[in-house]
Structure 1
Amino acid sequence: MILKELLVILCITFVPSYALIACDYNYDENNLYTCRMLIFNPSGGPVASIMGNHLINMTNNDVVQVISAGTTANIPAIICNSFQNLEKVEFVNLGIITLSNNPFLNCNNLAVLNLSNNSITTLYPHLFMNTHMEELYLDYNSLAEVTSDVLVDLNYLKRLSFRGNDQTTITGSAFEHLINLEFLDLSECNLTDLSPGLFDNGLSQLKVLNLADNLLTDIPANTFDDLTALEILALDINEISTLNGDSFKLPGLRALFLDSNKLENLPDNVFGHLQNLEILYLSDNNCSNLPSNIFNPLSSSLTTLGMHSSHIENIKPEWFQSLPNLTILLLEENEIREIPDRTFDSTNLKLLSLYGNQLNELSSRSFGSVKDLSHLDVRNNQMIGIDHHLMNRTTDMKVAMFSDNLCADFDTLSYDLEPDTYMGQLKDCFDNYDRTPFVLETNNSESYEWYNIRPNDRWRDIEFNITARESAHIGLTDSITNQDLLIEIRIGALGNTVFQIIDRGQEKISMPLPNFLHPTEMRTFKIHVALSFITFFRNNEEFPFFGYFITDYFPINFFGMRTQIPPAGSVESAFWSVRRIQT
């Protein structure tokens, strides 16, 4: 009978005071002789022996690792008394409540101890004496306090994690004896502030500090000054609203995570002491008012910048013009409508994400001399035009994502294909950009300037801002090669007096709309298409002024614009600004 089945029977059969420990001995994937332990000791009573048969020629002295399952209120002393050469122990999710009576006293070679996901409330002084522990994990327990006399014997410790102890108080001198500590995780601990002196002295070797997912509201000046070896600092998912020029005097820091805080108005010198910073995340803050020169101190080092979900409407080109080593830029889910000329010219961008913004076009002028772009994500924008010069010169493109745009709806995750394969899919975008659809001029013509609407998009709004004297026409059709399926909306017909709907060559509606168009002022006209029903809005009015039902429904996949020749034969032009509104 296997040990797990034995444990189940014992759990059902014996009274709660009964205690059992059994080992299944074997080698793990790293060739460590291991006891896979099943423990049943819910009352925490003494255990007389450990059941199980060793492999041939192996003894308790050969066991270097214990991995446990089951339930116990404590760690029986018999474990370290029996396996005195243990190097690695995992007591995870066993329901441990107490660590009294120094259970590790005879584990002098213990290097890695994982006590995560238990219910430990108290750590006693000198709990870890006589060990040579290098890694200690106490994640997701119920620790009330961490003091220096608990950790005083851990001079060899390199990694320490208290993640998820959400009722813990950490005294100011708790870590003063951890002279070799390199990694410290205090995330998810509900910390509202950092005790004075918490990181003073003792932590001169610390390289990684994780304070994420707490309740910190500010970082007092000089808090981290003594962490001279620190390379990674995580402060994301806190409540931090203010920082100053003395918050981060960390010349060796390589990565700083400040995303998901409440930052809004940062001083221009906040990163002034971070001359070696390579990775910076400011996402999910309000970055709309960042000073133009805020990233200047990072000019020689910064390679990755995250600013997604940061309420950015207007990009400041100066943010990026001092970052020649910037290769990864994440600007997803902002409200960016345009990218000014030469915004990325001074960078070395290889990955750019603009997912979920309000961009109408991509221009090569925004990118300047950038030519090594390999990953581009512009999904879920309002893209009508893309400059073909931009795509032609980015010869290293590997991943390109264009779905949920007006002129393109495809993604490719292996973009290193033959150019004809993917450039053909962007033809509508290239054509639209070349025709400058955003400040489009139409003259007297019988033909329309056509633009693609994404197929299968059942709900859509298209807004037209028009400057014209009269006779501005909008066409809606299934296919630009089949003019039998065509609905015309004529605005300002008959000398700028009426609004007409022509459905497949037949006039269906003619109603007064006097002087709607103006020769020098933009007038707004919006259509909303919902399957076979079209509603019409004017000048940003909340409610439509008219609705039309397509009796013989056909899918509307293209819209077009033209200026019809007036009856008198005079030359007329119309200027259009067009955008698709996501609904």
Structure 2
Amino acid sequence: MMEFKVLVLLFAFISSSVSQSIRCNYSLRQNTQYMCNLQIQNPDGLNNFTQVEGFHFPGMNNVFVTAILRNTTGSTTRNVPSVLCSQFPHVTYIDLSYLGIEDVDANAFRGCRNLDWLRLYNNRITSLPDNLFMYNRHLNYFDLERNLLTALPENLFANQLALEALDLNNNPIANLPRGIFRNLFNLQFLYLRNLRISAVNPGWFDNLFNLQFLDMADNQITQTIPANAFRGLFSLESIDLAYCNIRTMNAQWFQTMAHLHYVFMHNNFLEHIPSNPFVNSPSINILDFGSNNLAEVSRLAFANMPNLMVLSLENNQISRLRPQWFEEKPNLDSVYLDFNRINSIPVGIFAPLTGLRSMSLWSNRIRTINRNAFGTMQNLWYLDLDDNQINSVDERFLRDAIRLNYFYFYDNVCASAGFFGFANNITNNIRYFDRCIRNFGFVTERTTEAGSNYNFVEGMNPGMHLEVFTQLEARVALTGFNFVWNPMLEIVFNNDTIRIVRNQDTDVAVIPTQRHFRIDAWNYYRITWARQVISVFEANEDFPFIAYTMQDWYPVNFLGLRAQESEAIWTLEPVQLPPPTPGPNSRNKQEV
């Protein structure tokens, strides 16, 4: 019986020895870096190794080893054996990814006084000791992505003045100590993506004067981000706050970021962009606010961005384009406005964008395309107008598209077509827009501007699409075309009712899209009439806001005076819309 017990113990000892092993297969990279390709079997997380096995190159020994790279094939360990740094004291590069590490002892890297680059990516580490890097003053890069950390000690990086890149992505960290980054004066890259942070502490960034890249995407931030949250980030070039549950934007966040190039705030719940949030960041190249709930965007939201190249506002609730958004942006290359509620493109609004190459307005409510909608189109290469309500197109717009390659026009009212190489055969491709071009003869679209005169084409059964934003009541009056104010019909819109005063000489119908008139909000109406003049004006104004006639024997004119209290877009459109003309097949968008 005694002999059997001895055999069992001996077998257990032999099994343990076999399952626990650590060795290096050495290699020389570019004749400069002597590397240990680590093979380790330590499933029990033992730390009693006295020697890393392996055969050195002739003339080499442990002191020449400068890099340790894990060999994931058949390697596993629950900890970081301290023998690595004690046997290779001059190592500067350590990669221990994908090894199943759960525990890191306080002395794990103590012997690696010259450690510069450390990667513990994709392990199972749940915590780190406070003094882990006390002796690693030269640490420049540290990757802890995809572990199970829930918290970090405040003094973890107290001695890491040389640290330039820190990756904490994809850890269940719910909170970070206020002073955890306080000594990282040279930090340039900070990755905090997909943690469980619910609030932003301004103290995190107080001393990060040299930080260039900040990624905080995929955090469910439930508390309002303070106005001074990013006050210390004077050198920041890129900030990512996408998928962060942000509902309110503060214009003060970016005021100290004079070198900012990239801003990503897509997939949040923003409803408004305030005035001048980036006025101190003239170097911005890419601005992404896609997939929010934006309905109101200040006319100065994108002020002072002469270097802007990409503007993304897709998948929002935007119904109106403002000319100020596109002023003084000669380098703007791509604009994405897909999946909004835009129903008109004001004439000339994109004209300042001389470098525009790509414009996407897929799935909006646009009805008319004017010649100057996109300026001279001298560089426009990609245009997506799919799934709108377009019923009229100026032929000159199509003939001006001398460089247009991809042109998507599927699922519109007057035509449904898509083209690859549109500019290569403009004359032939235009025939698919015959009905759109014919309709443009009695459909026109204008935006009111002070001191401007426009000619309106004549048409049958005219209609007006009215959008008005005002703090007072709005009035639409139908009169005889003369210079004596004598309205025969007046329509009053206010917050109490929509009042229509009719007489025997006028045939007018008003169809509101809302049941009531909303003060300080956009209101939408369609007005159709016969043989009359339309004058629109604000209450208590001395002059008509807009006037025109559809009678053949009078000149067709626009007389405008922009009111201080309101902004409006006026559209003439036909009552009956003819069916679309089928067009050619084209490549699927995903293939482009």
Paired letter, 2:134: M
Secondary structure in 2 aligned to 1:80? helix
Greater shift, 242-251 or 22-31, is seen at 22-31
Q: 1:181: Cα distance to partner? A: 0.3
- The CA distance in 2 between the partners of 1:66 and 1:375, in whole Å, is 49
Paired letter, 1:577: L
Secondary structure in 2 aligned to 1:38? strand
Secondary structure in 2 aligned to 1:260? coil
Q: Which residue of 2 aligns with 1:304?
A: 310
Please state if 1:285 is matched with 2:292: yes
Distance change >3 Å, CA 16–CA 335, structure 1 → 2: farther
Q: Which residue of 1 aligns with 2:109?
A: 104
Q: Which residue of 2 aligns with 1:228?
A: 234
Note the 1:46-445 alignment, pairs <5 A: 46-68=48-70, 69=72, 70-131=75-136, 132-201=138-207, 203-217=208-222, 218-249=224-255, 250-296=257-303, 298-348=304-354, 349-359=356-366, 362-381=369-388, 387=394, 389-397=396-404, 399-402=405-408, 404-405=410-411, 407=415, 409-410=417-418, 412=420, 415=421, 419-420=423-424, 422-423=425-426, 426-436=429-439
Secondary structure in 1 aligned to 2:325? helix
- The CA distance in 2 between the partners of 1:153 and 1:425, in whole Å, is 71
Q: 1:103: Cα distance to partner? A: 1.3
Q: Which residue of 2 aligns with 1:576?
A: 576
**1:221/1:244 contact within 8 Å kept:** yes
**Deviations for 1:82-102, whole angstroms, at most 9, x for unmatched residues?**
333323222112221111132
**1:182/1:208 contact within 8 Å kept:** yes
Secondary structure in 1 aligned to 2:155? helix
**Deviations for 1:277-308, whole angstroms, at most 9, x for unmatched residues?**
33211111122211223222x24343321101
- The CA distance in 1 between the partners of 2:397 and 2:26, in whole Å, is 62
How many residues in Structure 1 have an aligned counterpart in Structure 2? 437
**2:106/2:129 contact within 8 Å kept:** no
TM-score by length of 1: 0.67
Distance change >3 Å, CA 141–CA 377, structure 1 → 2: same
**2:239/2:263 contact within 8 Å kept:** yes
Please state if 1:26 is matched with 2:27: yes
- The CA distance in 1 between the partners of 2:331 and 2:382, in whole Å, is 16
Moved over 6 A (4+): 519-523
Q: 1:433: Cα distance to partner? A: 3.3
Q: Any unmatched runs of 5+ in structure 1?
A: 1-12, 442-465, 469-518, 524-573
- The CA distance in 2 between the partners of 1:106 and 1:169, in whole Å, is 31
Distance change >3 Å, CA 314–CA 153, structure 1 → 2: same
Q: 1:393: Cα distance to partner? A: 3.8
Secondary structure in 1 aligned to 2:25? strand
Q: 1:186: Cα distance to partner? A: 0.9
**2:271/2:294 contact within 8 Å kept:** yes
Q: Any unmatched runs of 5+ in structure 2?
A: 1-13, 445-459, 463-506, 512-573, 582-592
**Deviations for 1:492-530, whole angstroms, at most 9, x for unmatched residues?**
xxxxxxxxxxxxxxxxxxxxxxxxxxx99899xxxxxxx
Secondary structure in 1 aligned to 2:135? coil
Distance change >3 Å, CA 22–CA 325, structure 1 → 2: same
Q: 1:360: Cα distance to partner? A: 5.0
Secondary structure in 1 aligned to 2:406? strand
Secondary structure in 2 aligned to 1:75? coil
Q: 1:106: Cα distance to partner? A: 2.0
Note the 1:443-458 alignment, pairs <5 A: none
Greater shift, 111-120 or 313-322, is seen at 313-322
- The CA distance in 2 between the partners of 1:114 and 1:33, in whole Å, is 18
**2:258/2:281 contact within 8 Å kept:** yes
- The CA distance in 2 between the partners of 1:429 and 1:405, in whole Å, is 13
- The CA distance in 2 between the partners of 1:37 and 1:258, in whole Å, is 42
Distance change >3 Å, CA 521–CA 198, structure 1 → 2: closer
**Deviations for 1:356-377, whole angstroms, at most 9, x for unmatched residues?**
4344554332112342223333
Distance change >3 Å, CA 377–CA 195, structure 1 → 2: same
Q: 1:395: Cα distance to partner? A: 4.1
Paired letter, 2:80: I
Note the 1:545-560 alignment, pairs <5 A: none
Identity %: 28
TM-score by length of 2: 0.66
Distance change >3 Å, CA 410–CA 370, structure 1 → 2: closer
Secondary structure in 2 aligned to 1:376? strand
Distance change >3 Å, CA 578–CA 408, structure 1 → 2: closer
- The CA distance in 2 between the partners of 1:64 and 1:577, in whole Å, is 75
Paired letter, 2:167: S
Secondary structure in 2 aligned to 1:431? helix
**2:129/2:153 contact within 8 Å kept:** no
Q: 1:162: Cα distance to partner? A: 0.6
**Deviations for 1:450-484, whole angstroms, at most 9, x for unmatched residues?**
xxxxxxxxxxxxxxxx969xxxxxxxxxxxxxxxx
Q: 1:425: Cα distance to partner? A: 6.4
- The CA distance in 1 between the partners of 2:387 and 2:60, in whole Å, is 62
- The CA distance in 2 between the partners of 1:171 and 1:149, in whole Å, is 9
Secondary structure in 2 aligned to 1:26? strand
